[in-house]
Each structure stands twice: as C-alpha cells, then as structure tokens.
Structure 1
Amino acid sequence: MTATDPAADPAVSLPPARHRLARLLPEDPVLRRLSAITLVNTLGNGLGMTLAVVYFTRVMGFGVGTVGLVLTVAGACGVAAGVPAGRLSDRYGPKRVLVVLLAGQAVCAAAYVLVHDLVVFALLACLVAVADRGGSAVRGALFAEVLPVDGRVAGRAYLRSVTNVGLAVGTLGAAAVLQLDTRGAYLTALLVDAASFGVIAVLYGLLVPATPRAAGHAERAASGPNPALRDRTFLLLTGLNGVITLQFVMIEVGLPLWVVRDTAAPRWMVAGGLLVNTALVIVLQVRATRGTEQPRAAALVFRRGALLVAASCLVVGLAAGLPGWAAALLVAGGVACQALGEVYSQAGAWALSYDLAKEDAHGAYQGVFNTGMSGALMLGPALMTSVVIAHGLAGWALLAALFAAAGFGMTALVRR
C-alpha cells in the first residue's frame, strides 16, 4: 500500500461525520478516557444540581430555610475535606482514593430517596459534600499524575469544555423532569445521578492507569507537616484564585438577582446569559491555555482574565435604570466579557497550581488549592446579596476592584 493510497490515511478513510468527530477528540488516549468519564459524571451532575433543592423541599417536605441551613453546613464540611483528601491521595494514590470517594458518594446520593428524617438528611448532605469536594481535589492530583507535564493545563481545559457540555445536557433533562413535576420523575432523576457516581468509580478503576509510585513516596507523604500549608507563596496563590472564583457565584447568583430585581432587561436574559457563558467556555477554554507554559506567562494570562471579569462587573452594573433593550445589551455584553475572563483566569490558575507545587506532593497542593475555591463558593452568595446587590453600581464597582486586585496581585506574586 503506497502513501498516496487513500486507505493509508485513517482520516481520509473515515466518513465525513466521523472525521469531524475524530478531530474534536484529543489524541492522548488517557485524556480520551477521562473525557468519557467526565461526560458521564457531568450528565448526572446536571440533573442533580438542578433538581436537588426542589426535591428536598417539594418531595421530602423540608422548609426552604431548613434546606438552606443544611446545605450551608454541608458546604462547610466540603471545604474542610479538600486538604485531608489531598494528603490521602499522596499517601495511597489519587486513583484509589477517588474511586473510594465516588463509591461513597453514589451510596449517599442514592440514600436521599429513602430519607424523611431531618438529622439523617443533614448527615447525608454532609457526606455527599465531603465526597464531592474531596474528590475535586483528588482529581487535580490524578490529572497531574496521568497526563504529560506539558499537557496538564490543556488537558484540564479540554475536560472543562466536556464538563460544560455534560452539565448543559443534564440540565435539559432536569427541565423535562421539572415539567413533569411528579414524585416518580424526581426519584428517577436522583437515582440516575447517584448511579452516575458508581459508574464513573468503575470507569476510573478500569480505564485510568495507575502510575507507579517511587519507593518511600507513601511514607514521605504520610509523615511530617503538609508542605502546601507551609508554602506561603502557594497559599497566596490559593487566596488570589479564591477571589477570582467568586466570578462563578457572580454569574449564578449575582447576575440573576440583579437582572430580575434591578434592571428592565427581560427575565429570560438570566437563562440566556448562562447559556452564552456555557457555550463560550466550551468553545474557548482550550484555546485560552496557549501561552501558559511558564509561570510568569501564566500569571499574565490570569491577570488578563481577572481584568475582563472586572470589566464585566462594571458593564452589568451600568444596566440598572436603562430601558429594557439597552439593559439587555449591557447584560449580554457583560456575560460575554465574563466568559472570556473566566477561560483566561482558569487557564492561568491551573498552570500556576501545578507549576508552583512540589512534583511529589500534588495531592497536598491540589487539596489546599481546591479548599480555597470551595471556601469562596461557600461565602460568595452572602457577599453577592449583602454587598454587591445591596449597594447597586457601587457594589459592582467594589467587586470589580476586588477582581482587578487579584489579577495584579498574581503577577506581583509570581514576579517575586
């Protein structure tokens, strides 16, 4: 068979539709497997995230305030889980720890459908949060082990795009369940979500390679203080990234409240804004990782993203008091600006979280890094409602200044 024979070229031999699909898939076989696992996971998450609170209140019969308090306590437990989960992944290997956490999450999430007692509900919610946030930290360490060093950030970006696809499809499924609004539909959806954790636990165990660990690595990881907690540079990085993480609370909590309460923009802009954000992240996240190969360059990318998010705050804040069409244009522009800032800031943060960590302690470092993010996500709603929304344009300007300060602070930190 000669080189000019069409059959010699796999790309030519594929039908056009399959050829386009093949071009979208990553070349690294491990990343392909991680992508499939992530898609299954986020399809379930899209169902669970959208329906859980509705199920707890409408089907289980708990009050809205009670559910809010339970989920706040559970969120605090999740924040506390990141650091020990990261240390365990250094000790026993991230793959093993992640499989255990996912299996536990599957059991606890499935048990929701059997619970009618408030204390048991609270206990399950805390266990689910611990498994979820601990698993997030362990995944970061797993990616550091199984992906090539020069492909970690691009790999995480690709998985982030897959995450948004899965969440979007899962949310559409949740919309159908909400339309049916029956106990059976809610129970089925939550059991599907719980089953997805069990499925991906098996897939991680079967499809993701376990990297060999150097002799004595486990003993070193288990002994002595946590190196990440003694690394002041990394702690500052974690804090600055925690600040920029508030953008997710801004787009999910602050923007909807602002559009509905304080602007004349049509209410469908809330859902439309989230869809625009999701679509832009899917398309742009991988491209945004270019130029993050060195720490200083990654810090500049992070700063670019932080300034774009800061600008989006000012644009959205100016929408109050304007006619509906003008407010809608500003909200749309602000959402697009935030999405661009999101992909850049995330790309820079991922690169720095790996570059500034010790290569033999990624679990400890990713545990601390994810704890900073979890803390911001827990405190963010109170900040949005009591400071940003409550003070109008001044509140949005304050938030913009906070994001900009994080961006300049990151470049100053890395320059040191």
Structure 2
Amino acid sequence: MTTTPAPAPQTAAPHATRPARFARLVPAGPVLRRLSLLTLLNAFGRGLVFPLMVLYFTRIVGLSTTSVGIGLTVAGLCGLFAGVVAGRLSDRYGSRPVLTALWLGCGIVMASYTLIDSYVGFLLSVICFAVVNQSSSGVRSALYAEVMEPATRGEGRAHLRMVTNVAMGLGGALGMLALQADTRGAYTMLLLANAACFAGAALLVWRLPVRRTVAQCVAESDAPVSSWRAVRDLPFLTVTVLNGILVLQHSLLEIGLPLWISQNTDAPRWAVALIAVLNCALAALLLQTRITRSVDDLPRAVRAMGRSGLLLGLACLAFALTAGLSPLWAVVVLVVGAVIQVFAEVLSAAGGWTLGYALADARAQGVYQGVYYSGFSAATMAGPALITLTAIEHGTAGWIALAILFGAAGLGFAPAVRWARRDGDWRGEPGYQSPGTAGGAGRP
C-alpha cells in the first residue's frame, strides 16, 4: 500500500514580506480555521476562570480549602470513565451532536456556579461539570478524526495546541483582574463569560463539515465490530497507560517544580514564573508545529515517545542537581532542565496524537479516544500525589525514581506498539501508513 506523502510546508521566500510571514499563523484550510476559532473560544473561556476557581469557592462561596479539595477529587473520580460512555455515544450518533451537547452542558453547569451557596450545591455542580467536561476530551479527539484528513491531522492538532496556549494565556491575564478586584461581581462576570464561550464553541462545532463518520467506516467494513472493543484491547490499553505516565510531566511542571524551587533550592521565587513563561513560549510558538511535522507516521511516533521519556528522565536529573546550588546556578540549571522538558513535552504530544489515532479501530473511534483520554484524566488526578511523594518528599532519590519511570515508559512504547500491530489488521484508517509499508519505514 502506498500513501500520499504529507504536503511540504509552504515556506516563505527570503524576500517575503512581514505580512506574508504573519499570514502563516492563520491556517489556509477552512476546516482548520473553524477549528481554530472554536478552540480559541473554548481555551479563552477556560483561561478566564483557571486561576480563580479555588479562590471563588473559598473566598466568595465560603467553603474551606480542605472541603474544596475533597470535592474536586470526588468530581474527578466521577468523570474519570465518563469519556468512554460519551465516546460510545459519539460512535453511534456522531461526534458533532455529542460534543455540541457536552459543551452546552459545560456552559450551563458553569453558569450554575454563580448560584452555589452550600457544600451540597458545590459538590453537585463540580461533579456534573467534571463528567461533561472530561467526557468532551475524547469526543473532541474523535471529531478531529472525522473532520481532518489523516495526512494533515498531526500538524493541525499542533496548530490548535498553539491556539490553546495563546488563548488561555490571554484569558488568564484577564482572570488576574478579577483576582485583583476580589469581589463576587468580578468572579460572577468571568464565570458567565466562560459559560458563553462554551456555548459559542458548541455552536461552531455543529457547523463543521464531516469528512468521514464512524458509521461510514462500519458500513464499509466486512468485519464485525464490537462497540466496547477498546476497553478489552490490551495492547491499546498498554499504550494508554504508558502515555499517561508521560502525561505526569504536566503535574511535575505545574506542582512539583514550584514546590521544589520554593522548598528545596535557593533559587528566587520568580524562577517559577520564568519557567512557566519559557515553557509556553517554546511549546506554543517555536517547537510544537515544527516537531509535529516530522512525526507523521507510526514508526516516527514510537521513536518520538521513546526520546520523550529519556529526555524527561534527563530533565528530572537536572532538577535534582539544583538542591544546594547558589541562586544564580540554580536558575541556570533549572532553565536547562526546563528546556529539556519542553522538547520532551512536544515530542510526547506529537507522538501521542499519532498513536492515539493509528492504533484505534476507525469503526469505534469515539470509544477508543474516550479510553485514551481517560489515561490523561487518571494521570492528571494521580500526578500531584505521585510527584509530591517522590521528588518533594525524598529529594534526589525521588527525582531519580521519576527519571527511571519516565525513561522506562518511553522505551516501553516500541514493544507495546509491535504487540498492537500484531493484534490485527483492523487498526487505523484506510490509507494510514503502517510500519513496513511504503516510504521505506521499517518496524519501530
């Protein structure tokens, strides 16, 4: 089987004008432009409320920090496996109507936050939001499979990730104004604005043109398909777990490093903000799209995940070295480790997108993406406790343990993907390049 090579990136001529260079930030395809707009709305709304949710529940509603933490944990557990059910619904009824309904539900629940006046109301609201919001992740990924061509899907998702980072940054900047005002009115305004963003994004989803639905894949296939095959697909579940381990890096960046810097190093506290800005700038504007272009088939995705795990291990060792260094050298080593971590992050994102689609049954894409993103949710929940129990509690030994965990996970992708490829020929979409096919790609 031969495959159509991915189109070469359209680079500007040396004498290109400045507007032409900036025009490359706007996607050429109408579908990706629509996806960019709805992603912009969704991410901007999340950025508005991301820095203030806990403070709203504690300072405005009047709940204790402990009760809020317990409630959010319970909500996360309730939403953990909801994505699998939502994925099954998207396979049956289509990803567009299901995602539209889920995002409208997110908007309604977010608006209800403004009415919370008791712990019972808080618990019901956050559980409902966790269920519909976590369900939407896998369905959204299934939607990308329906509306974007496989050859351009990776680069498209890289562009959408850039849009997400920029939009959340802008929303977060406005959210800080509400934190400064610290009034119920300011918080309420941003909560309702986020609800409106969910509703606007949902309406844009409904207008997307579908390339190829799951129902069409099933109709074109001679082999029977089980609606719940993903939950029994051991090779795919193995890849999901390995990917979830690499996802732990986000907890390392958001929770582990701030605690480590403040408690275990002599680095100034502004180093936390420096690393966060560096991560966003490199990942969103310089690296993600470029690296994703080079991870366009299954063997390259496996190599990317392996390199990501090893780089994460190297970053952990760099962070461990900062204990006991002078403030200047601590900042220098932290920056080196952070740059290594950014490369690991973009490699794992690009490789993870390719694996998530290529190893899924195209006839049950919704359920497969729901299972895959349940691994994200599980890692997000377990990450803070794991990072704290290792690096923060045990210092250098804990960082070494994390380095071994990340490295082993990265190296585990090659045998896991070989297992998945031997499991059957139904995986992936027609025309998707698999190991050993055209283009000289060998087995990973």
> Same fold, TM exceeding 0.5?
yes
Report the more deviating stretch, 47-56 or 204-213: 204-213
Whether the 8 Å CA contact 2:95–2:142 is kept in 1: the answer is: yes
> What's the TM-score once normalised by structure 2's chain length?
0.87
Partner Cα separation in structure 1 for residue 64 and residue 21 of structure 2:
49
- Asked if 1:317 is matched to 2:320, the reply is yes
> What's the TM-score once normalised by structure 1's chain length?
0.92
- Asked if 1:206 is matched to 2:207, the reply is yes
Match of 2:283 among 281, 284, 290: 281
Q: 1:272 to 1:142 in 2, by over 3 A?
A: same
Q: 1:35 to 1:225 in 2, by over 3 A?
A: closer
The amino acid that maps onto 1:402 is L
Partner Cα separation in structure 2 for residue 54 and residue 190 of structure 1:
13
Partner Cα separation in structure 1 for residue 310 and residue 48 of structure 2:
33
Aligned position for 2:244: 242
- Asked if 1:39 is matched to 2:40, the reply is yes
Whether the 8 Å CA contact 2:316–2:400 is kept in 1: the answer is: yes
Whether the 8 Å CA contact 1:291–1:298 is kept in 2: the answer is: no
Aligned position for 1:102: 103
Partner Cα separation in structure 1 for residue 262 and residue 297 of structure 2:
42
Deviations along 1:390-412, one digit per CA (max 9) or x if unpaired, are: 00011011111100001100122
Aligned position for 2:387: 384
The amino acid that maps onto 2:410 is G
The amino acid that maps onto 1:123 is L
Q: Number of matched residues? A: 403
Aligned position for 2:65: 64
Whether the 8 Å CA contact 1:95–1:210 is kept in 2: the answer is: no
The amino acid that maps onto 1:229 is V
Aligned position for 1:402: 405
Partner Cα separation in structure 2 for residue 118 and residue 39 of structure 1:
32
Aligned position for 1:123: 124
Identity %: 45
1:154 is displaced (CA, Å) by 1.4
Aligned position for 2:5: none
Runs of 4+ in 1 over 6 A off after TM superposition: none
1:342-381 counterparts in 2 under 5 A? 342-381=345-384
Aligned position for 2:274: 272
The amino acid that maps onto 2:234 is R
Report the more deviating stretch, 207-216 or 282-291: 207-216
1:196 is displaced (CA, Å) by 0.8
Whether the 8 Å CA contact 2:88–2:227 is kept in 1: the answer is: no
- Asked if 1:148 is matched to 2:149, the reply is yes
1:28 is displaced (CA, Å) by 1.9
Deviations along 1:315-356, one digit per CA (max 9) or x if unpaired, are: 111111111111111111111111110000111111011111
Task: Supply the RMSD in Å over aligned alpha carbons.
Answer: 2.2
Gapped runs of 5+ residues in structure 2?
A: 1-11, 420-444
Partner Cα separation in structure 2 for residue 145 and residue 61 of structure 1:
44
The amino acid that maps onto 1:297 is R
Q: 1:401 to 1:57 in 2, by over 3 A?
A: same
Aligned position for 2:75: 74
3-state secondary structure, aligned to 2:325: coil
Whether the 8 Å CA contact 1:157–1:289 is kept in 2: the answer is: yes
Partner Cα separation in structure 1 for residue 418 and residue 297 of structure 2:
12
The amino acid that maps onto 1:322 is L
Aligned position for 2:338: 335
Report the more deviating stretch, 353-362 or 52-61: 353-362
Match of 1:305 among 296, 300, 308: 308
Aligned position for 2:424: none
Aligned position for 1:251: 253
Which one has the bigger helix percentage? 1
Aligned position for 2:8: none
Report the more deviating stretch, 201-210 or 326-335: 201-210
Partner Cα separation in structure 1 for residue 123 and residue 202 of structure 2:
24
Partner Cα separation in structure 2 for residue 324 and residue 172 of structure 1:
28
Q: 1:306 to 1:52 in 2, by over 3 A?
A: same
3-state secondary structure, aligned to 1:357: coil
Deviations along 1:97-144, one digit per CA (max 9) or x if unpaired, are: 000000111000001011102111111101111111100010110001
Partner Cα separation in structure 2 for residue 232 and residue 311 of structure 1:
30
Partner Cα separation in structure 2 for residue 290 and residue 216 of structure 1:
30
Aligned position for 2:264: 262
1:214 is displaced (CA, Å) by 2.4
Whether the 8 Å CA contact 2:89–2:98 is kept in 1: the answer is: yes
